[in-house]
Amino acid sequence: MAQDLTPKYTVPGIEREAAGRLIGLLRLRLHALNDLHLTLKHVHWNVVGPHFIAVHEMIDPQVDRVRGMADDVAERIAALGGVAQGTPGALVDERTWDDYSIGRADAIAHLGALDLVYTGVIEAVRAAIKEAGDIDTATEDLLIEQLRDLEQFQWFVRAHLESVGGTLATGQARTEEEAAAKAAELG
């Protein structure tokens, strides 16, 4: 049964029912960003191999920015009159994706899996932008700003996975394990 997220009040110029749709949309973005933050820290802690330090140091600024994105989304939910549900239980109960599946692994293998994670997050943000754009330009703008950063982070990851000829090692991978294995072949 879908939860009614219609707030008792919202920002001027947006109907309460529309604000409820935005809150539901942003709730999933909040869960995705909290999950991404934890996944990035997991990668940061569990990379090994000759590319360890480069990947270890590349991930921390991404962690910091993703945490900031989550805070921005949570504050937008509150401004719209909703509740920013940031607990681990809510994340696990409401997410529409599986948990990150790679443990201690070569840095390049983690980047291969992370490429697929970013693809999923970016595709969901693009869909959210389309939906939010029909209701509220301020929420749409917030998501567009985050999309630019997420795409840049994926570019940083993919730079480690791309051949000089432009072939992406993870190009046809469908699972994190498959992407990690294909990327590890580069390493």
The first and second tokens of residue 47, run together, are 């990379």
- pLDDT tens, residue by residue, 90-106: 999 999 889 999 999 99
| pLDDT for residue 1 | 42
| pLDDT for residue 3 | 81
Q: Which helix (H) or strand (E) holds 106?
A: strand 105-106
| pLDDT for residue 21 | 97
Mean pLDDT across the chain: 95
| pLDDT for residue 73 | 98
Counting as low any pLDDT under 70, the low residues of the chain are 1-2, 187
- What CA–CA distance (Å, rounded) separates 41 from 181? 21
| pLDDT for residue 187 | 63
pTM reported for the whole predicted model: 0.94
Q: List all residues 6 or more positions away from 71 whose beta carbon is below 8 Å from its beta carbon.
A: none
